[in-house]
Structure formats: C-alpha cells, structure tokens
Structure 1
Amino acid sequence: MSSLDKTDGTTSHMTTDTNSNSKVGTWQSFKDSFQRADVETVATVGLTDIEKANQGSAAAPLSRDLKNRHLQMIAIGGAVGTGLLVGSGGSLRTGGPAALLIAWGLVGTMVFCTMHALGELAIAFPVSGAFSAYATRFVDSSWGFAVGWNYAIMWLIVLPLELVAAAMCILFWNSEINPVAWVTIFYLVIVIINLFGVKGYGEAEFYLAIVKVIAIVGFILFGVVIVCGGGPNHEIVGAKTWNEAGSFASGFKGVCTVFVTASYSLAGTELIGLAAAESENPRKALPRAIKQVFWRVFIFYFMSLTFIGLLVPSNSPDLLGSSNTSASPFVLAIKYSGVEVLPSIFNAVILIAVVSVGNAAVYGCSRTIQSLGAQGLGPSFLNYVDRKGRPLAGLAISGIFGLLCFLSAYENEGEVFAWLLSVSGLSTIFSWFSIGLCHIRFRMALKVQGRSTSELTFTALTGIWGSLYSMILLAVVLVVQFWVALFPVHSDGTPQAKNFFQNYLGVFVIIIFYIGHKLYTRNWRIIIDLKDIDLDTGRRITDFEGLRQEIAEEKEFFSKKPFYWRVYNTWC
C-alpha cells in the first residue's frame, strides 16, 4: 500500500508491503513489518533549521488509521483519569468543596480556549508532533526543542507512575499479592496494545473511554439520588457537608493550591492534536472532537465534583493526604452512602482509567519523540517508523522508562517518584501556553502575508482573544504555583526548599532545555519573523479555491437548518 502526502511541492511515499502480489508467511510478514518504512527523501541543502523541521514533521510516515469514532472517544474519555478519580480527593481536603468548583470551572474555560486553538492548528497542519512542531514552526526551534522534550519526559515518567497506581487499585481487593506482580501484568498489557500501532491505541481507548463515560454518568445520577434522600437510610443530604465541614478548607491559599491541581488533572486533553496526524480525515473528524471538550469538562469534572463535595466532607480522615490511604473520593462517596457493592465496581473503573492513562502515556511520548527526531531536534534514529506506521524508537524508549514501575518494590518509592515527576511537573502548563502563543502567531502571520481565515476549514470559536485569555490564566497558574510551592498550605510561613523544588523544578528544566539548545546550535534568534513563517508545508488540502467553495456550500446548508440544530452543531 502506498500513501501520498504533498507538502509544498515535495512528495513522500511510504511503502508498507514489499510485494503485495507475493504470498508471504505470517511470521515473515510480522518480522518484515518492523523494517523501516520506505520514505522518499527530499533535498535539504540550503534549507534553514526551521524549513528542515517543517519538512520532517510533515513527511512522517505514520499510519492514518484513526477513525471518527476513535477521535470522539479519545476526546471524551481523555478527561477522565487519576487526576479526577483519585487526585480530586486531596484537593477536596486542601481547598474544600467550593474551591473544587471555582478552580476546575476557571481552568475548564482555559482548556476550552486552548483546545479550540489547537483544533484550528491541527486541522490546518495535521503533522506529527502537533504542538511541539508548531512551536518550532511559529516561534523558534529552541522553543520547540524545550517544549517537545519536556512534554515527552512528562509522559515517560507518567507511565511508571500509572502502573504503580494500577497495582495499588488491585490492593483494594487483595493485599496479599506483591504489587510487582500486578505491575508486570499491566506493563505487558500496555506495551502489547501499542505494538498493534495507532489502531491498537485507538481501539483500546475507544472501549476504555466508553466504560469511563458510563461510570461517570452513572455516578452523577447516583449522586442526584443520594443527595435527594434516595439512599439506604433515606436521609436528604443536601448541603450538609458544606455547612458542617465548611465551603473552604484553607482559605485563599487552599483555592490556589486546588487551582494548580486542576490544571494538572486536565493533562492529556491535548492528545487529540497529536492524533490529527494519524487521522483518516482530520477536517471532518477533529471539529466535533474539539467541541466535546466543553461538555466533558462540564459534565465529567464540574458535575461529578459537585456531588463529591456534597457527599464527602473535606475533613474526612480517609481522603488522600489525610492518612496513609489513597482512597478515591468517588469510592468514599459511595461507601459513606451505605451502598455495599458499588465501591468495588467503581474501583474497577478507576483501574480501567489508570490503564487508559498509561496507554495514552506511551502514545503521547512515542509520537512526540518521533516528531523531535524528524524535526532534527533529537538524534535521527528517533525518527524510525516501521512499515506499520509505528514509531519504534519512541515506543522502545517508553518501554524502557516504563520499567521504573518496578521501583514499587523499593520502600521509598514515593520519594523517588515525587522527584521524577518534579522534572516535568509543569510541562502541561508550558504546552498549553505554547499552543496559545502559536495560534496567535499563526493568525498574525496570515494577516502579514496577505492571507485570511477563509482558507481554514475550522476556526477557533474563541478566536485569538481566547488564546490570549488562556495564556494569561496559565501565567497566573505559574505565579500561584511559585507561591504555594514556597509556602505550602498549613506551613509555618518558613520557605521549604524541598517542597519548592519538587513542585517548581519543571520551570528550571524547561529554561535549561531552551538555553542549552541555543548554546549547542549557536542559534541566537529569539523568534521567527512573521513574514518568514511557513503557512503551507504539511497541509493535506492545498486547493484553497475549491476549499472556499466547499466551505461556502456548507455554510449555506447550515443556515437553512433550524435554530436549535445550528446551536447544537456549533457547540457539539
């Protein structure tokens, strides 16, 4: 099979079969699939570092096997992970129920703006690496290097963390078996899923996301029933916990701490941008998936956290951080209501969510590493993509770092993982900030080069003002994080160096990456001139006149529909 990708006058061919007419044995075919994909090289003599990077990310021979249903469930289910199902318990204890709603509500608006900006860029340029490639294209190669590697390292560390979390979920039922045994099983499952390529990842996420969606919707309905007095004891809960334990647990600082945690918990929403390069038709599939961000944040986070705050008091000794327990606030809400069987069922859902996040970690890391290799921001072997479209070098590195999960057998594994996570703990913040910056510069470049948004099939509903808003809010998050890292909640007012570096080391890491790349490459350019930004390489659609005609016909069809239909399709 051969796929053709036109990128600014160059042609790239990927061959996935050595000879489609010959009969090859199953084992031989399997071995051959790991051979490097045949890609027609293009001349790079005389090209700048940015031009080479754009060519490399656009010509990546990744498979385009993700269908519309895969992207829909990746978008919907990507918001549900351990940040919501487990981490929200610690936030409830620190900030109180009102802080949960304030923090996640504000961060949700920022994510909505950021994802729309990413959608506009990803549909126009469905290239490998997405926002790391956009950072190189629209800002500078050093910024692309810093953002890309910081993001890849985050997923490298998240994988072993999630594997250990999965083993801890099993201990809810059986504490006699060594966690290392469960870690091994989950590690092998995730590695095997990703060896099936992007289709394996898409199918796994499709079914895992369905389970998570059903569970969260079921919990919300359960919360309505219990709060209104439909539980075993028929007690009307109402706002009882708010009145008894208080709306705010630690005042303004507690809200700030939850504000930071809320940003972390929504990490992974940007994976939909990475998936664009491996989508059959990003122009048709991505807009609906991007629009789902608002609803998944509102329904999955805002509504479920509302009932968590109503059913679990913030001073509960079972919450994360109150003792040695790591019980999910969802499980506690069910347990406190007096329902017998449901806690085990929901613990199984948490286990599924943990495996899903681990699966996403391998996908996100491997694709980002491959893109960095293709852009020349890493060793060339990182760009190794086999005949099935699998970025083998990236998958291998993810698998090797995943072996850190066996540190779970070490008695101080929590301390080790805390320091590992601190290296890239703020990487999501920088990635989201970079997306907003790239979107604004993309729009500015269109204007400077005499082009307009009429050549775009999807434009961000919030425009550049939404991107500016998200950048300002993310800058506030960084300032707030500095404060609570230096003077954590319940501290005596004395700066705590260990806590500060564990929570703010990521800022220094990305600065070191940025300056290190400048020094190594002797590239003293701060930012690319708007008139020099490449607005064509990597586009799958280059017939702009035909595209404008198609868009006009779609708008005419849209205008003839009823008002309620238009509102639904605008937001959903």
Structure 2
Amino acid sequence: MSDSDGEKPAQLVGETFNSKAYGHPEADEVVVDVDHGADSELQRLLSTRHITMIALGSSIGMGLWLGSGTSLASGGPAAIFIGYLLSGSMIWAVAHSLGEMAVMYPLPSAFVQWTRKFVDPAAALALGWAYWFSYWITIANELQGVVTVLSFWTDEVPTAAWISIFWIVIILVNVWAVTVFAEVEVVCSTIKFCWIFVVIISFIVISAGGAPAEGPIGFRYWNQTGGFTNGFKGFLSVLPTCIFAMSGSENAGLVACETKNPRKSVPKAVGSMWIRLALFYVIGSLMVTICVDPNNPNLFGGSGTNASPFVIAYRESGLGPLAHIMNAVIFVSVLSTGSISGYAGSRTLVGLAQIGMAPKVLMRADKVGRPWFALVPTLLIGGGLAYLNVNNSGAEVFSWFSNLTSLFTLFGWGMICLSHIRMRHAWKVQGRDINDLPWKSWTFPYGAYWGLFWCILLIIVEFYLAVWPQNYSHDPTTRATSFFSTYVSVIAIVVVYIVGRILYRGPWWVSASKIDLDAGRRFYSEEQMMDEPNGTLKSMMQTLVH
C-alpha cells in the first residue's frame, strides 16, 4: 500500500493560490472546489472559536476533579503536584508536535494517519485501534463518574438508571449536527475555564483561614506527610491518573479536519495549552494539596462518600453552597468529556477506514457530516461498558479504566512525537525548505524528543507497577489479576501490531525519501498565510465573549 492511498490532498473551497510557493511541485495556480475533510465525507464546519474551546476543555473531566482524590490518598501532596508538572510538560511538548502536523495534514484520524505516513503502517494500525479502544473506555469511565458525582446529592436512584439516562444524553449530543456538538462543548469548556478562577481564589482564602469552619491551614498537610504518603512507589502510582487526567488534549488534532482554517485555528489551540496546564492542573492540584488532608476517608477511593477533593475542601470549610456548585461543575465536566470521547472515537474510525485499516463503510457520513457507521458502535460499546460500575465501586472501576487509558494515551503521545520527528526528517531528506511549512513549532526538536522519551519511560514504569503494585500480594491469582487489569492495554497494542506486521510486512520504517509529502496535505492561499493567529490571551477573551 502506497503512502498516497486514500490520502488525496484536501484544499479549500474556491481558493486560487500559488501552490509552488507552498511546496506543491506541479502547478503554478490551482482552483479547487473540495468541501470535505481530506477525501472523507466529513465537512469543514467548525470555527476557530470551536477548536480553541474544545482544546481547552476536552481533557478537563473525571481525571482532574475526581482522580485527584485517589492520587492525593495514594501518593501524597508532593506526588500529585510533581506528577501534574511532569505530565503537563509532556502534553505541552506533544501539543506542539501535533500542532505543526495538524496545520499541514488536517486528516480525520490525525495522528493515526500521520503514523502510517511517516512511521509504519503496522504501528498506525495498532495506534488507531488502541485509540478507539481508549475512547470508548473513557466514555464508560465518565459515565460511572456521573454516578459518583450524583451520589453527593442522593443515593436513591439505582446506578444503572443514572448510567442509562446520561448515556442517552451523550448520544443525543453526538447525533445532532457537528456544529451543535461544538456549541455544547464551547459552553461546557467556558464553564470549566471560568470556574477554575473561583476555585483558586477561594482555596487561597480557605488556606489563609478565611473560611467559616476552618482556621489557617498553610502547608500543614505537606508538613504532616513529608509530601509523600507511600514513598517512591506511591509517587509512581500517581502517574497513570495524571496521564489519564490529561488524555484528550490531543483531540485538537482530530477537530482540525473539520475546521475551516487550521492554519489560524490550530496554533491558537496549541498556544492556549499553557493556560490549561497552569490553571487547571498545576495550580489546581497545588490548591487541593494545601486544603485537603490526604488521609481524609471521604476522598474518591476512600471509605466514605467517594467525593471529589474540591468538594471536600468546600464542605469541610463550612462553604456548603460552593460545595454544591463545585459538584455541579464536575457533573458538567464529566458529561462533556464523555461526549468528546464519542466524537473523537468516531473520527478515529473514519480515519482508519480512509487508509484501508477498517471497513470502508465507516467513512460514510450524512449531508451534515455525521459519520453514523463510526459513531454508533463507539457510543454503544462505551455506554455498555459503563454498566461494569453496577456491581463494583466507582473508585475500583475508575482505577481499572484509568490504567488502561493512560497506557493507550502514552502510546498515542509517543507516536505523535515520533511522527513529528520523522516528518521533519523526511522534509530534510527530500530537500524541502523548512520555511515552506505553513506553521512551525519553535520547540522542535527538543520538545518532540522530550515527549517521546517520557512516554517510553512511563510505559516501562507502569510495567513495574503491574508486576510489583503498591499493595503487593503473594497470591498468584491476585498478582495475575493485578497485572492484566493494569497492563492489558500494552498486550492489546502488541497483538494488533503483530497482526499489522503480518498484513503489511515490508521494512520496519517507511523510507523517508519515498514519503509523498503532498498527499493529504492542506494548501493555503496567500491571504490565509498572512492571517496570523492572535496572542493566546486575546484569543481566549474573544472566544469567551463571542
């Protein structure tokens, strides 16, 4: 299978431009009338506002609001803070690699198709199906997170009933037109983004002793625990949850396919990454470690109400109304992340079908761009899997799913960085001018290598935790169960990769000199090339206002 199969160049409607100026070797001027996303039936209906807010809020869900509780309990305040710093540096590097490629190659399954083009078809096959698995696992995890969140208010409604109700909600959001889905996500992301400012300010007040039921706290819990509750292994056990919390940030690459002008939209999304990392994860986790005791029995995963540490901080400080509002925001966040996973999973299947790695019928979409054949199985499997929560605790199911998803995510992040490295290498080998790239990341090559290094290292670390978990048992059955519940993702990746090697064979690497760098590429008019993105803060304010 050649690099160009199923990857015809996707241009802009009615644009006339000098294609040689942007690296196209064949014609001086091209007039195009293509309105679909990179040879698929998806349509370019999303705006800069949509992609910016989806990139900002797509990964703010159960991992941060609830998973921080399990991390705080198992690792301690320093462990969770360092874990988010490390994970943040990784996704920041990944986002820059993703941004450069998404501007030039805005394809339906993005990093899957980039991996096939620049690395190896077998690796792309493994990545594509692994990511589809991770998306419906995330849907299931977020649905069981809804049950945990709503139990703060009532335990009278059966778990299966809550799952069924909000499974239907996620389905409805995804089966509307893609522009409706995008508007829903803009509203949800705006709520998340605005509320974090309230959290930071109020937690500072609580820490200083300004809450009705709590005196000054300072760094009391850091001092009591020494920063770590279970030593080095406790710190390592926090990392999968931190990775899971940030998974989904790469969805901006998928949305680019349905964006009117990726050259303007994607750099804005990448540029806003530092806001999310700083406000949501780094500062947010720091506030939690200051205001919440890691030994609190009500933390998610503890013996009490399985509450979010953010809710606990408000409730125990005598700020009951804020506790209820916080829980409502968590509810919106969890539901939003489940909805985005349905979108991303369906687009991943479309991309796999486009490059011949899934049935061609999955490429089909209706006149408003809904890929029904890819969307339906993603939503059905994800929702069905959520019913595992009926007979198990929410924290137990969260632990299973977050471990599985974090490994899929590490594999995906690593392949994005590796694809970026290989793309730049092919660009150089074929004598292309680096200035012909429509957008260049200033972090290359250090960012791409930094992200790839940590992805490989953390996959090894999770193998260590799978073999020697924090609560190590000498019972062979328990140890086997622990290993497979933690590391079965890697086994699935290896199996699919082996199948891919059998199917595609050939060399281990795609030859850099033979890669068709113009297949699947988006060409931009001179006017679009001159339309520079605004600064990050200005873009964010415009997005929130309009």
Q: Deviations over 1:486-529 (max 9, x none)?
A: 1122436888221111111111110100101222x252331110
Asked whether the 8 Å contact 1:367–1:394 carries over to 2, the reply is: yes
Could you say if the C-alpha distance between residues 448 and 405 of structure 1 is closer, same or farther in structure 2, counting changes exceeding 3 Å?
closer
Identity percentage of aligned residues: 35
Matched residue, 1:58:
38
5+ residue gaps, structure 1, are: 1-5, 14-55, 559-564
The correspondence of residues 150-161 of structure 1 with structure 2, limited to 5 A, is 150-161=130-141
Q: Does 1:70 align with 2:70?
A: no
Contact 2:139/2:383, CA 8 A, preserved across alignment: no
Aligned equivalents of 2:372 and 2:539: distance in 1? 39
> Separation in 1 of the partners of 2:329 and 2:442?
34
Amino acid at match of 1:188: I
Q: Which amino acid aligns with 1:449?
A: Q
CA deviations over 1:349-388 (Å, ceiling 9, x no partner): 1110111011011001000011111110011111111211
| Equivalent residue in structure 1 for 2:175, among 192, 195, 204 | 195
Deviation, 1:84, is 0.4
Amino acid at match of 1:523: R
Residues 138 and 405, structure 2, Cα contact 8 Å, conserved in 1? no
Partners of 2:535 and 2:300 lie apart in 1 by 44
SS in 2 for 1:270: helix
CA contact (8 A) 1:365 1:398 kept: yes
CA distance in 1, matches of 2:178, 2:251: 13
Q: Sort the Cα spacing of 1:260 and 1:189 in 2 relative to 1 into closer, same or farther, 3 A.
A: closer
Post-superposition offset of 1:76: 1.4
Match of 2:26 in 1: none
Structure 1 CA distance for aligned equivalents of residues 422 and 261 of structure 2: 25
1:543-563 C-alpha deviation (Å, 9 max, x unpaired): 6xx58x956x96xxx9xxxxx
1:515 aligns with 2:498: yes
Deviation, structure 1 residue 186: 1.1
Q: Does 1:535 align with 2:517?
A: yes
User: Does the CA-based 8 Å contact 1:320-1:326 persist in structure 2?
Assistant: yes
- Of 321-330 and 288-297, deviating more is 321-330
**1:478 matches 2:459:** yes
Per-residue CA distance 1:239-259 (angstroms, 9 max, x = gap): 112122331111111111112
Pairwise CA distance, 1:12: 11
Q: 1:168 to 1:107 in 2, by over 3 A?
A: closer
One-letter amino acid of the structure 2 residue matched with residue 59 of structure 1: D
1:421 shift after superposition: 6.8
Partners of 1:115 and 1:536 in 2: CA distance: 22
The list of structure 1 runs, each at least 4 consecutive aligned residues, that deviate by more than 3 angstroms after superposition, is 6-13, 412-425, 492-495, 565-572
Question: Is the 1:241–1:313 contact (alpha carbons within 8 Å) kept by the matching residues of 2?
Answer: yes
Q: How far apart are residue 292 of structure 1 and its match?
A: 1.0
Is the alpha carbon distance of 1:127 and 1:202 closer, same or farther for their aligned partners in structure 2, counting shifts above 3 Å?
same
Q: What SS does the aligned partner of 1:341 have?
A: helix
Structure 1 residue 57 displacement after superposition: 7.8
Question: How many pairs were matched up?
Answer: 512
Among 407, 420, 429, the alignment partner of 1:439 is 420
The reply to whether residue 452 of structure 1 matches residue 438 of structure 2 is no
The alignment status of 1:468 with 2:459, answered yes or no, reads no
Deviation per CA, 1:191-236, whole angstroms, max 9, x where unpaired?
1111123212211110011111122221111111111221114622
8 Å CA contact retained: 2:10, 2:39: no
When residues 343 and 11 of structure 1 are mapped into structure 2, their CA distance, relative to the original with a 3 A threshold, is closer
Cα deviation for residue 408 of structure 1 reads: 5.2
Residue of structure 1 equivalent to 2:352? 372
* Cα distance change of structure 1 residues 247 and 483 upon mapping to structure 2, 3 Å threshold: same
Q: Distance in 2 between matches of 1:192 and 1:60?
A: 23
Distance 1:96 1:513 in 2: 37
Superposed CA deviations along residues 267-320 of structure 1, whole A, max 9, x for unmatched, are: 000000000000011111111111111221111111111110011111111122
Aligned to 1:47: none
Alignment of 1:69-88 (within 5 A): 69-88=49-68
1:150, 1:424 within 8 Å by CA — same for their partners in 2? no
The one-letter amino acid paired with 1:524 is G
Q: Distance in 1 between matches of 2:422 and 2:462?
A: 27
Structure 1 equivalent of residue 83 of structure 2: 103
**Given the superposition, is the C-alpha separation of residues 435 and 497 from structure 1 closer, same or farther in structure 2, using an over 3 Å criterion?**
same
Contact 1:67 1:280 in 2 (8 A): yes
Aligned in 2, Cα 1:191/1:145: closer, same or farther, shift over 3 Å? same
SS in 2 for 1:463: coil
> Partner letter of residue 489 of structure 1?
Q
1:429 paired residue among 397, 410, 433 = 410
Answering whether residue 469 of structure 2 is matched by residue 488 of structure 1, we say yes
Residue type matched to 1:349 in 2?
Answer: V
CA–CA distance in structure 1, aligned partners of residues 103 and 344 of structure 2: 18
Deviation by residue 1:441-466 (Cα, 9 ceiling, x = unmatched): 01001100000221122212211221
Alpha-carbon deviation of 1:542? 5.9
Q: Does 2:483 correspond to 1:500?
A: yes
1-structure distance, mates of 2:286, 2:315: 17
* Matching residue within 183, 195, 204 for 1:215: 195
CA distance in 1, matches of 2:74, 2:458: 17
TM-score of the superposed pair, with normalisation by structure 2: 0.87
Q: Which amino acid in 2 is paired with 1:359?
A: S
After superposition, the CA RMSD in angstroms is: 2.9
Distance 1:102 1:65, change over 3 A: same
Structure 2 residue identity aligned to 1:531:
S
SS at match of 2:238: helix
- Note the C-alpha offset of 1:79: 3.3
Q: CA 1:499–1:364 in structure 2 vs 1: closer, same or farther (change >3 Å)?
A: same
8 A contact 2:10–2:522 mirrored in 1: no
In structure 1, the residue matched to 2:367 is 387
Question: Counterparts of 2:12 and 2:262 in 1: how far apart (Å)?
Answer: 19
Are residues 157 and 570 of structure 1, via their aligned partners in 2, closer, same or farther at CA, if it must alter by over 3 Å? closer
Q: Which amino acid aligns with 1:463?
A: F
Q: Which runs of 5+ in 2 are unaligned?
A: 1-5, 14-35, 542-546
2:210 matched residue in structure 1? 230
8 Å CA contact 1:156, 1:402 repeated in 2:
yes
Query: Which amino acid is 1:267 matched to?
Result: S
On the 8 A contact 2:60/2:333 being kept in 1, the answer is yes
8 Å Cα contact 2:93-2:451 kept in structure 1: yes
What amino acid does structure 1 have at the position aligned with 2:285? L
Q: Report how far residue 326 of structure 1 moved.
A: 2.1
